[in-house]
């Protein structure tokens, strides 16, 4: 099977949170306004939690309590946090519920995973697969990340979040797999030693021409997970980099020739071969080669922990004010109701043409602020309504909100 550099980069993004994924609600607003979500209802939402080095995991000191860590992590959202309880154990791993922040449309669930056997978890390479089961508002947006890690007790403090979920109904958190061997090579550099003579090749069952293994092996001090098995040109003048994975390592790694400034020199296509990958660089100028960069996600030899940890969730939602509208507004948009909390403003509406609109909130001092759009879907049962969710960048006290304005009208909260 052949893949290209774009495929590898997509896999990198899928393997865990990237800087782009951690930029917050502002970027999500722009994306939502340009391409509103139109997913149909689905009951089970899969959460893939990647705990990679890029997350800059916080180490938990022995003294501070989990609640102290959460209060610091939540910042202005800390007053909305509620304690939730429940434990589940399997495979010598204990899951314990800690806290939740919810207002009826969004949920942040905080829980710990403790390795009671010891020595299996780590801060940088553990991947947890979990799911949330419950009612949604026509399409659920899912996110999750690690909050902190305590190496002394082998405990991960986790956050699972959901947008567009009906948190007034019972939910269920299910963890199904904990993989402590999910690794990421960000920038491993190998020396650029290339022979003048063409190297020997072989042809895969799919018809791809690749270098034979072990012709001029090279290593890097940056990693022991992979080596360069063969590097050079084939008889047709194509430049190949054949990678050899260490024992027990599998993955989708890409080798990229770079110049002294760290810039890629070619488009690369990768082919899976026995024990590694063969990467071919197109339109390659050897004179500019400074080093070979190897990067991408891979799995180490450590065994995954398979089991099932299931706990019910019954959440108390933050205080809300409901504004019943029940009429058609500007641009022919029928608005059923508006539900306001200190975290979000939800508008339930129906329109053939309008997918989103701008919304403002005004406080009792007369200050008006735009509220970013965070979530939008179509066809919420039972009235076939769309649901738009506008999220405050900083939460407000519900009593401080005087009115909301959208589609040419202002609606007071009292």
Q: State the burial class of residue 343 (Cβ atoms within 10 Å of its Cβ: 0-12, 13-18, 19+).
A: buried
Confidence label for 352 from pLDDT (cuts 50, 70 and 90): confident
Match 């009115």 to its residue by tokens.
403
Nearest to 251 by CA among 214, 216, 295: 295
pLDDT (mean) for 367-382: 84
Least confident of 62-66, 144-148, 320-324: 62-66
Residue 27 inside a domain? The answer is: no
**Domain containing 394 — which CATH number?**
2.60.40.2320
The b/e string for 104-139 (b: 16+ C-beta within 10 A; e otherwise) is: bbbbbbbbbbbbeeeebbbbbbbbbbbbbbbebbbb
Comparison of pLDDT for 25 and 286, the residue scoring more: 286
- Burial string for 53-87 (b: 16+ CB within 10 Å, else e) reads ebbebbebeeeeebeebbbebbeebeebbeebeee
Residue 43: band (very low, low, confident or very high) from pLDDT cuts 50, 70, 90: very low
**Between 54 and 14, whose confidence is greater?**
14
335 and 325 Cβ atoms separated by less than 8 Å: yes
pLDDT, one tens digit per residue, over 79-99 is: 999 999 999 999 999 999 999
Lowest pLDDT segment from 72-76, 106-110, 130-134: 130-134
The number of beta carbons lying within 10 Å of the beta carbon of residue 207 is 6
220-229 pLDDT, tens digit per residue, is 999 999 999 9
Instruction: Specify the number of domains making up the chain.
Output: 3
Residues 278, 325, single domain; the answer is no
Rounded mean pLDDT, 342-363: 93
Q: Tens digits of per-residue pLDDT, 293-346?
A: 999 999 999 999 999 999 999 888 889 999 999 999 999 999 999 999 999 999
The 10 Å Cβ neighbour count of residue 143 is 16
Q: Are residues 66 and 160 in the same domain?
A: yes
DSSP label at residue 366: S
Q: Are residues 53 and 172 in the same domain?
A: yes
**pLDDT, the chain, mean:** 83
Strand partners, 296: 185
Residue 206: pLDDT band (50, 70, 90) is very high
Residue 243 is given by DSSP the state E
Looking at residue 16, its pLDDT comes to: 42
For 91, left (φ over 0), alpha (ψ -120 to 50), or beta?
left
| 138 — pLDDT class (breaks 50, 70, 90) | low
Q: Which of 118-127, 222-231, 368-377 is predicted with the least confidence, judged by mean pLDDT? A: 118-127
What residues contact residue 112 under an 8 Å CB cut-off, 6+ apart? 66, 94, 95, 96, 98, 155, 156, 157, 158
Examine the domain organization and report whether 189 and 92 are in the same domain: no
The set of residues, in sequence order, having a beta carbon less than 8 Å from that of 22 and lying 6+ positions away, is none
pTM over 0.85: no
**270 is a domain residue:** yes
Boundary of a domain, candidates 232, 263, 296? 296
Which of 28 and 92 is assigned the larger pLDDT?
A: 92
284: containing domain = 184-296
Say if residue 302 is exposed, middle or buried (CB neighbours under 10 Å; 0-12, 13-18, 19+).
Answer: middle
């Amino acid at each position: 099977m052949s893949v290209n550099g774009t495929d590898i980069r997509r896999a990198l993004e899928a393997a865990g949170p990237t800087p782009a994924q951690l930029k917050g609600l502002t970027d999500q607003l722009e994306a939502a306004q340009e391409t509103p979500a139109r997913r149909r209802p689905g009951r089970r939402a899969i959460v893939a939690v990647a705990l990679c080095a890029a997350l800059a995991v916080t180490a938990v000191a022995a003294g501070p309590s989990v609640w102290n860590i959460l209060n610091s992590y939540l910042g202005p959202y800390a007053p909305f946090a509620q304690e939730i309880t429940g434990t589940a154990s399997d495979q010598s791993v204990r899951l314990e519920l800690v806290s939740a922040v919810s207002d009826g449309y969004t949920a942040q669930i905080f829980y710990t995973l403790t390795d009671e056997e010891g020595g299996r978890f780590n801060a940088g390479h553990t991947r947890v697969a979990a799911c949330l089961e419950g009612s949604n508002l026509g399409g659920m947006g899912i996110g999750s990340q690690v909050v902190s890690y305590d190496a002394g007790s082998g405990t991960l403090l986790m956050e699972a979040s959901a947008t567009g979920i009906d948190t007034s109904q019972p939910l269920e958190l299910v963890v199904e797999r904990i993989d402590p061997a999910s690794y990421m090579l960000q920038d491993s550099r190998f020396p650029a030693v290339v022979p003048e003579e063409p190297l020997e090749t072989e042809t895969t069952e799919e018809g791809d021409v690749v270098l034979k293994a072990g012709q001029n092996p090279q290593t890097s001090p940056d990693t022991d997970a992979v080596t360069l098995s063969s590097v050079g040109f084939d008889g047709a003048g194509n430049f190949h980099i054949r990678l050899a994975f260490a024992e027990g390592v599998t993955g989708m790694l890409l080798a990229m020739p770079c110049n002294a400034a760290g810039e890629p020199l070619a488009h690369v296509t990768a082919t899976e071969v026995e024990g590694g990958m063969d990467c071919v660089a197109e339109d390659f100028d050897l004179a500019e080669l400074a080093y070979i960069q190897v990067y991408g996600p891979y799995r180490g030899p450590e065994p995954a922990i398979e089991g099932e940890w299931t706990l019910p969730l019954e959440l108390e939602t933050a205080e809300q004010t409901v504004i019943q509208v029940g009429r058609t507004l500007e641009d022919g948009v029928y608005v059923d109701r508006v539900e306001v909390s200190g975290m979000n403003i939800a508008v339930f509406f129906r329109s053939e043409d309008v997918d989103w609109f701008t919304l403002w909130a005004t406080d009792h001092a007369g200050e008006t602020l735009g509220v970013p759009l965070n979530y939008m879907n179509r066809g919420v049962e039972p009235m076939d309504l769309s649901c738009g969710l506008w999220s405050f960048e900083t939460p407000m006290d519900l009593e401080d909100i005087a009115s909301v304005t959208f589609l040419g009208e202002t609606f007071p909260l009292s």
